[in-house]
A = this chain, B = another copy of it.
Amino acid sequence: MLTIGKLGQAAGVKVPTIRYYEQIGLLPEAERSAGNQRLYSRKALDRLTFVRHARELGFTLDAIRDLLSLSDNPDQPCAAADAIAKAQLAEIEKRLARLASLKVELNRMVAQCAGGRIADCRVIEVLSNHSLCATDHRHPQAGNDH
């Protein structure tokens, strides 16, 4: 059995994050020692490692919740899990496309500025006026990365 600190180290997750996951019901309530400290089994470590890896791949906690409960039913068909992964892939692709067009515009802005006064700054100018942009980078609904 591991304490929360050891578990965190082993999984690469900070201690408060583990407690947070328990609080929101993503992880089951941990067993407690006589002195009320949380104790974790190896299985709990696997679960947390799964969570961490899915987070690193950008899945939301809600998606991870679903993935966890799917992975608890090994005999079920995996279509639901695949659908979640595909949705995540689509989301990532959407963000990639958006970021790519932002990059184009930012590059243009920065490259076109000659470095004079604010009054002549291309950065300020473009920010004031979208019609100076080359692409339609406009906000087709994004999510958050991290």
Contact = CB atoms under 8 A, between A and B. Distances in A.
Interface of A: 46, 49-50, 53-54, 56-58, 67, 70-71, 73-79, 81-82, 84-86, 88-89, 92-93, 95-96, 98-100, 102-103, 105-107, 109-110, 113, 115-121, 123-124, 127-130, 137-139, 142-146
Given A102-B57, A103-B92, A118 B76 contact: yes
A129 B11 CA distance: 12
Contacts of A119: 74-75
Where chain A touches its partner, the secondary structure class is: helix
Contacts of A82: 110, 113, 115, 121, 123
A121 to B, nearest CB: 4
A146 B115 CA distance: 28
Contact of A110 (B85, B98, B113): B85
